[in-house]
Amino acid sequence: MSLTVNEIFYSLQGEGGRTGEASIFIRLSKCNLACSFCDTDFEFGKKMTLDEIFGEISQYPCRWIIWTGGEPTLQLKDEDVAFFKEKGYRQAIETNGTRRVPAGIDYITCSPKQQFGKIRTLIPEVDELRFPIATGDPLPDISILPKTKRYLLSPVFDNMNVVQDNVDYCVELIKKNPQWVLSLQVHKLIGIR
Ligand code: SF4
């Protein structure tokens, strides 16, 4: 069993409900969308066996993996998740919601970019929904989204920089729609990965 890995790094989760928790990020190659605001280099990668990935991440004291991308569900299978669970890892995933999430994932962040109406049938319930929002973007209809306890709006940044217009726009949206909560990319604000 192998996965094409773009990068592995150890840092703190910078967004959403797990903000501040130490996590090992495993970025898998490839995405099935091409969002205009995407700031992630996910095209390239090297094939690694699960044992090789485990060999690399076991140097860290942390036992939380975040599977990210690109779109990690293009590669990650139930048996990959089971392998790392058996090694004692809890596993989060950051998905755009266009594909089924493998069994055994402990924390699902769904960050939909399109096709909102189809996501609920693929993934009925998630731990958080996080929407990147730029000025003028509409709020999606909650009734067609997966169930969650956390509806998060994340103002789109310009790489590492706050875009104040986007922040102001999100703040006004949330004041009018208080079931939503502001989520900032804290890792960018404090200058870490
Ligand atoms: S879904 Fe995510 S990784 Fe894929 S293109 Fe959009 S922002 Fe980039």
- Return the closest-CA partner of residue 82 out of 102, 67, 65: 102
Question: What is the position in ligand 1's atom list of the atom closest to the CA of 37?
Answer: 7
Q: Does 74 sit in the ligand 1 pocket, CB within 6 Å? A: no
Say how far apart CA 113 and CA 3 lie, in whole Å.
24
Give residue 77 CA to ligand 1 midpoint distance, Å. Answer: 20
pLDDT for residue 62: 98
- Classify residue 172 as left (phi > 0), alpha (psi -120 to 50) or beta: alpha
Whether the CA torsion 8, 12, 16, 17 is positive or negative: it is positive
Kindly state the helix (H) or strand (E) to which residue 84 belongs, with its residue range.
helix 78-86
Give residue 8 CA to ligand 1 midpoint distance, Å. Answer: 18
Question: What is the position in ligand 1's atom list of the atom closest to the CA of 70?
Answer: 3
Tens digit of each residue's pLDDT (9 = 90 or more) over 137-189: 999 888 889 999 999 999 999 888 999 999 999 999 999 999 999 999 999 98
Give residue 50 CA to ligand 1 midpoint distance, Å. Answer: 24
Kindly state the helix (H) or strand (E) to which residue 193 belongs, with its residue range.
none
- Residue 39: pLDDT over 80: no
pLDDT for residue 43: 83
Cβ-count burial of 175 within 10 angstroms (0-12 exposed, 13-18 middle, 19+ buried)? exposed
The fold of 2-189 is TIM Barrel (3.20.20)
Q: How many residues does the chain have?
A: 193
pLDDT for residue 41: 81
Tell me which residue has tokens 């293009």: 74
Q: Does 114 sit in the ligand 1 pocket, CB within 6 Å? A: no
